[in-house]
Amino acid sequence: MVTNVDVVVIGAGPAGLCFAKSLADSGLQTIVIERQSEHSLSSPAFDGREIALTHHSAQLMHELGIWSFISPDAVSPLRDARVFNGSSLFSMDIGHRDTQKAELGYLVSNHLIRKAAYEAVKSGSAISLRTDVEVTNVKTNPNNTQISLNNGEVIQAKLLIGADSRFSETRRTMGIAADMHDFGKTMMVCVMEHPISHEHTAWEWFDYGQTLALLPMNGSRSSVVITLAPDEMNPLMKMDEEDFNREVSARFKHRLGAMRLVSTKHAYPLVTVYSKRLIGQRFALIGDAAVGMHPVTAHGFNFGLKGVATLSAEIKAAIASGKDFASDTLLLRYEQKHRRDTRPLFLATHAIAKIYSSNSPPARLFRAGALHLGNRIAPLKRAVAGFLADAR
C-alpha cells in the first residue's frame, strides 16, 4: 500500500507537531509518524520538565493556534532570574525591568505543550497521524522520498522532516553525523512546594559538586532541577518522600524553607547534540534532532520553534512563487539561517557549563569574579535580559 502526500514528519513531539501545524494552511498534505500510541499523544504523562518560553515563542504558538489549548492557569510568568555561584548569597540578577516587558517569559509544563500541539493538529484536516508504527526504511531521490513502515505501509512524499529527539534515528539513517557531548551527569526534575516565595524568579545555582535550578510556577510551587553525577543521583531518586524532602531542602541551604515533593521524580542524562548537517536530499532536521541544547539557558524548545518558523516560511514562500518547496537551494537557506540563529548560543552555553562545573581553585576564583563583573555591567545585563525575553 502506497500513500502519496506532500510532507512526512517523523516524530510527534512538540517540534514535529508544531511544524506540521505550521503547514496546515499551506495547501500541503502532511503525515506525522510516531511510534507511541495516540493515547500517549492525546493524554501525555507528566515528565517533570517545565519549558521556559520567550515572548517570541509564545507569539509563534498563538499564531499556530496552539496557545489557546493551554489553560491560562497553567502558564506561569517568569519575571526575573538570578545566578548564584558556590555557597555565596551574592547573585547576578537579570530582571524584567531591563526589558520593556512585564516578565522575561513564561513557564509551561512540557506535557501540556505536547497535549496542546496534538489538539491543534487534530483540529484540522490537512494533517494525518500514524501512531504505534515504526520506520523500517527511508529512501530519497531528487524527486521524492519514500518511507516504509513496519505495518507494511509505504509513504511517498516530496519532503521528509526528522523531529525524533536529540538521539534521532532518522538523522542516523540519513547518514548525518552529530557532535554529541555527554557531560557524564544526570539531571533530576520534579515539583516542590516551599513556604518562602520564589517571587516568580528563576534560579541557576552553580554550587560546588552540584548544579541546582529553580523555575517558579504559579502559587508556592517550583520546578526543581538537580544535576549530579549518576552515582550520586541514584540514591536521591530512590529516597522515600520524607528523606527526599529533607535532602532537597538542605541542598538548597533552606533558602526556600522546608520543601515538599508534590510530583513524581524524573531523571534524564545530560547530553547535548549539534547536527553536523541540518539537511539532506529532500530532508531537513528540526527541534532537538537538529540542535539539542544544554538546559542551562532553557532555550531548547525556543530554538525548536525558531527552526519551525524559519523552514515553514521558506516553504510557504516557495509555494507562493510556484517553486519546489523541497529544493536543495531552499533547504540550504534554512540550514544557514538556523545555524546563525543557534550556533553562537550553543557554543557559549558549552563554555559556561564547563567553567561553572569545574571546582578547581582557579575556576572557583574565575566563577565568582565573572558573576560580580557581569552584575556591574548594565549593558550586558540588558542584552542578556532582552535575549531571554524575546530571542529571535
Q: Which of 185, 169, 389, 147 is nearest to 288 (CA)?
A: 169
Is the model more confident about 207 or about 238? 238
What's phi and psi for 5, nearest 5 deg?
Answer: -140, -175
Q: Residue 378: what pLDDT?
A: 56
Confidence of residue 98 (pLDDT cuts 50, 70, 90): low
| Count of Cβ atoms closer than 10 Å to residue 253 Cβ | 13
Q: Is the pLDDT of residue 212 over 80?
A: yes
Task: Give the separation between CA 232 and CA 239, rounded to whole angstroms.
Answer: 12
Grid cell 499523544 — which residue?
41
Confidence of residue 373 (pLDDT cuts 50, 70, 90): low
Secondary structure (DSSP) of 62-114: HHTT-GGGS-GGGPEEE-EEEEEETT-S-EEEEEGGGTTSSSSEEEEEHHHHH
Percent of the chain with pLDDT over 90: 77
Q: Is the pLDDT of residue 382 over 60?
A: no
pLDDT digits (tens, 9 = 90+) for 12-33: 999 999 999 999 999 999 999 9
Confidence of residue 85 (pLDDT cuts 50, 70, 90): confident
Is the model more confident about 9 or about 293? 9
Three cell numbers, residue 29: 498534505
Secondary structure (DSSP) of 298-345: --HHHHHHHHHHHHHHHHHHHHHTT--TT-HHHHHHHHHHHHHHHHHH
Secondary structure (DSSP) of 168-203: -HHHHHTT--EEEEEEEEEEEEEEEE-SS--TTEEE
Grouping H, G, I as helix, E, B as strand and the rest as coil, residue 61 is helix
pLDDT digits (tens, 9 = 90+) for 282-324: 999 999 999 999 876 666 899 999 999 999 999 999 999 999 9
pLDDT digits (tens, 9 = 90+) for 173-200: 999 999 999 999 999 999 999 999 999 9
Q: Is the pLDDT of residue 385 over 70?
A: no
Average model confidence (pLDDT) across the chain: 91
Q: What is the CA radius of gyration of the chain?
A: 22
Q: Which of 174, 184, 201, 196 is nearest to 81 (CA)?
A: 201
Residue 45 amino acid letter: A
Q: Is the pLDDT of residue 36 over 70?
A: yes
Q: Residue 90: what pLDDT?
A: 76
Residue 168 amino acid letter: S
Q: Residue 250: what pLDDT?
A: 97
